Chains A and B, each alone.
Chain A
Amino acid sequence: MSQTARIQKPRFNAQTWIILAGIAIIGSVAPFVEPTLVGQMTVFWIMVLLSYTWDTMGGQMGYNSFGNVVFFGIGMYVTAAIQVGLYTDLGTYTAAKGGIKLTLTLGQYFTGLAIGLVAAGLAGFLAALLIGSGILGLRGHYFAIGSLALGIFVAELASGWELIGAGSGLVPPLYPGVESARSLWLYFGCFALAGITFLVLQWVYSRRFGLALNAIRDDEDKAEAMGLHTTRYKTIAWAISGIFLGVCGGLAGNFFQFIDPRDTAFSGATYGVWMVLMVVLGGKGTFWGPLIGALLFHVFKELFWSYLLGLQYIALGLLVVVIVVFFPEGIVGWFRERFPHWFGERVDPPPEATAADPVREPAE
């Protein structure tokens, strides 16, 4: 695939930390500067989370999963079910279809949420381990379609399961305090989680584990021949992204305040494909690519929603086609092809171009 030899410098240099600190400051100040847009910004950080967790599989490892949305949805359901189930009977709560309003104290609410989020991370991790050991031995397109079917399969299961509300969905308990406080802590929850996810994932990539993932991306057969247990690495990588996706789903479920099995939790046609699109747009397997992709995509999406209301999904479908067909290497990837030294990569010139090489005469 790549014709040039790339030597990676350590990714965290002073410049990176300055940019990260800048983002952290902007991210913490933004909700106070523009309080009306807090909801928007929360969605943005959820998008960043989705794109970085997808990048673990799709970008670093070259496994194009359309099923990551499963862990997102599992996180949503687990968190909401625990939040409700701790204080009342889940079955009667869902059977009432939103008829029962759960009134909790602040302490109860946050206890439920905390336990729920931990359980969501755990559930995402375990689900990824279980499913991954099943289907991660698959290569290429079989994995892509298998994971696509998996997402819809889980959505259909969830919309038939009475305990979690079946097709009519599940409502997480209402926040007992003021609305503005709710949106603010949800914003900071998503923001902090995005930051932690980013740092943990980059740390993972900088270890031997990350090298193994890249080796699997570049040539899986050779990686296996070199003694890597590729299926094990793939499964663990998926499980790591499963943890963060699960917690992210738990927060997102509380943010949306309504969990629909097909449209929010296991929504292959929205979040499932958006996360792929954001990473492709930004640049697969790059440091900043998923962030840039998420930012641009979020802007696109909001513009579509504001100016093309009713046609927004058509426009998004068109956007998928256009980006994939005309811009497959993404923004960061595009710059990387042209200015590799910006990325701390040394490019070895191709051997026949060097002056020291004797010019070979074509045999006639």
Chain B
Amino acid sequence: MIKAKKSIGIAGTAKNTGKTTATVALLNHFHARGVDLGLTSIGYDGESIDNVTGLPKPRIYVPKGIKVVTAERCLGVSSAKIGVKEQLDINTPLGKLVCGVVEREGLLVTAGPNQSTHLKQAKHWLYENGVELVVVDGALNRISPMVETDGLILATGAAFRLDTSELAAHAHYIAKICRYPGSDGVAEKFLDSTRTIVWDQAGEILARTNQSLLEPGQLGPLQPAAARAAGFYCPGVIMPQCLKKLMQMPFPDSTNYVFADPIKTIIGNDLELVHDFLAEIDRRGGVFRYKRAVPLLAVTVNPYYPKFRYETNNYEPAFVDRDSLLANVAAKIDVPAFDIVAEGCEKLAETVVFND
């Protein structure tokens, strides 16, 4: 069913957008079909009560045989029995990460690797131990470690934005940003650079600057070479104001742009600007690639949100209109959108399988 070893990240736009619900649904779906599964989390999941709102959260019920990577102090608060096979030399606030197998089914609390490099190690252990599909449960709006996955499912919902058209626009931008492919041979020889570079038609590097571009001034060293550039590569984060500056610089229309991965642009938090930048490159006839592509496979929507009650100084569960939320998002994006609570997980799971 899964053609090659694969890892799927469930990234959220905020807390309470349905990451854990999607994770549990996918686990159940693939477990029932005999897929050898691995589970980890970049946050803390499976607790019964939300750490911030105090409202109930979905629990993670894991069947026997699933392999997990979690912090050792999570084992004691899980009713599932985990047979620990190995301890990784990775510290978390809840102890070292341990790798193991579910020996008795039950509720699992997970707190896995919370940096990209650590997720890579966790994924490696899972693959080494026969796992075909790794599901990485996200945390809050965190997305950075998801660069280590082969594809994303974006969980969004009313907890992120109550205005469904704003929410749909946000999903639309992410889908657009993630749809660009990997470098696939384009500018291959330049992509080991640890600094941002531009090169000319002859393949000669014309200028270099910082790895990450956090402020427009950091693009200064590239300015004199821009007009002669054939390619541009940034291995780090690019902040929106730097993208704006890039568009103003005299790069030829046919320039090849390679960014490290979509996440390093999403993280700048101005998706509309990133989207406009990419559209501008397309309009000019340039080529845009990622060193490492992370495709968006699907979007799940969640009408639930925690509503603050000023009268009682606490939160209560509330919902936006389910149908209009899904319709709005689906109309805006070019990947499938689902409300898995309403329609089940079958089609979502297909996006994981058929996007091989």
| A and B associate in one complex | no
